[in-house]
């Protein structure tokens, strides 16, 4: 066992015994990972720190369930991802993105996609359109598109982050992409 | 892949590059806030109270199962659970006495 692992297991044990100094060390250790995940899957208009706080409180309350069977960072990722999914579920899903929901610059961007995309195309507008399309997906679908297509993670990496087996990840990714495609077609159809 | 799929592919590619990079939110103040909230939660709801609530829920579920089983398996007679069943079904208890 590496020195880092020994230090971590000691730290976890102290947190379980309600040691605040150890809890502080733990928060500082996993904070960059939690923040990265929360930012990647943040529901629209949600507060990063607020959601991160929820993740940490959930981590502390479930710490007794961590048995060391998977690396601690993987376990933390799963708790963070499930907290984000819960928050997304609690939000009202946008039904379908219509052409009129797009800003003028976003509409121009979608129009330009039919031709060769010019250099220096407005990437922020592309992200804006994508965010609107993602908002109409279910939390799990949104999560998988974010991980697979936005962050370009492998099936194995997604499996480790979410705790879903690789078969489930493949099926969900396929369905999510089909749905995204259909939403995009509806969006384009609304332009006529 | 059809034309619409190709256009979506281009959009995804652009959106990937356009994701906003933001400053980290983590700070000593944030850590302090989490620890304070954790302490407050712990003080507000002691472990034994959570355990008591959990046991209460288990007991309630068990009682409900026993009640349902007694209603389902009880012989329909003019008294007890039979009356209750008859009342729910809107049948005159005397009409069940011959069963």
Q: Does the ipTM surpass 0.90? A: no
**A146 → chain B, closest CA residue:** B16
Task: Please give the pLDDT value at position A175.
Answer: 94
Sequence-ordered alpha helix ranges (H) in chain A: 3-16, 20-40, 48-62, 72-90, 104-112, 123-134, 139-145, 155-162, 166-189
CA distance A21 to chain B (A): 9
Cβ-defined contact of A181 to B8 (cutoff 8 Å)? yes
Topology annotation, domain A3-93: Rna Polymerase Sigma Factor; Chain: A (1.10.1740)
Residue A191 clears pLDDT 90, i.e. is over it? no
pTM score: 0.62
Mean pLDDT, residues B46-56: 71
CA distance A183 to chain B (A): 10
pLDDT bracket for residue A1 (50, 70, 90): very low
Give pLDDT tens digits for A174-187.
999 999 999 999 88
> What is the per-residue burial (b if ≥16 Cβ within 10 Å, else e) of A149-177?
bbeebebeebbbbbbbeeebbbebbeebb
Supply the mean pLDDT for chain A: 84
Give pLDDT tens digits for A67-95.
888 889 989 999 998 888 888 777 766 66
Closest Cβ–Cβ partner in B15, B25, B38 for A126: B15
Taking contacts as CB-CB distances below 8 angstroms, the residues of chain B near A18 are 42
Residue A189 clears pLDDT 90, i.e. is over it? no
Task: Say if CB A131 and CB B20 are below 8 A apart.
Answer: no
CA distance A166 to chain B (A): 23
Taking contacts as CB-CB distances below 8 angstroms, the residues of chain A near B22 are 39, 48
Mean pLDDT, residues B81-95: 65
- The residues spanned by each domain of chain A are 3-93, 99-189
Mean pLDDT, residues A137-165: 87
Cβ-defined contact of A126 to B14 (cutoff 8 Å)? yes
Q: Which distant-in-sequence residues (6+ apart) come within 8 Å of A126 by Cβ?
A: A109, B11, B14, B15, B17, B18
Residue A164 tokens read as 């879903």
- Which is more confidently placed, A178 or A121? A178
* A99-189 classified as CATH 3.30.70.600: no
Task: Say if CB A68 and CB A9 are below 8 A apart.
Answer: yes
């Amino acid at each position: 066992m590496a020195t880092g692992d020994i230090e971590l297991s000691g730290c976890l044990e102290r947190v379980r015994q309600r040691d605040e100094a150890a809890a502080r060390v733990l928060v500082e250790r996993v904070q960059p990972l939690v923040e990265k995940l929360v930012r990647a899957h943040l529901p629209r208009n949600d507060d990063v720190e607020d959601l991160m706080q929820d993740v940490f409180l959930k981590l502390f309350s479930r710490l007794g369930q961590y048995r060391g069977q998977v690396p601690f960072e993987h376990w933390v990722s799963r708790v963070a991802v499930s907290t984000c999914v819960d928050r997304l579920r609690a939000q009202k899903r946008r039904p379908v993105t219509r052409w009129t929901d797009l800003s003028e610059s976003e509409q121009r961007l979608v129009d330009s996609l039919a031709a060769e995309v010019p250099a220096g195309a407005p990437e922020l507008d592309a992200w804006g359109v994508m965010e609107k399309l993602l908002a109409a997906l279910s939390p799990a679908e949104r999560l998988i598109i974010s991980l697979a297509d936005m962050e370009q993670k492998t099936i194995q990496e997604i499996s480790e982050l979410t705790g879903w087996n690789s078969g489930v990840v493949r099926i969900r990714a396929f369905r999510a992409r089909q749905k995204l495609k259909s939403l995009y077609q509806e969006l384009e159809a609304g332009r006529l | 892949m059809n034309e619409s799929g190709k256009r979506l592919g281009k959009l995804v590619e652009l959106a990937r590059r356009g994701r906003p990079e933001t400053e980290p939110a983590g700070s000593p103040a944030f850590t302090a806030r989490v620890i304070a909230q954790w302490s407050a939660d712990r003080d507000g709801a002691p472990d034994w109270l959570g355990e008591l609530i959990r046991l209460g829920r288990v007991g309630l579920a068990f009682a409900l199962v026993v009640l349902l089983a007694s209603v389902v398996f009880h012989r329909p007679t003019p008294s007890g659970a039979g009356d209750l069943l008859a009342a729910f079904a809107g049948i005159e208890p005397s009409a069940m006495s011959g069963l």
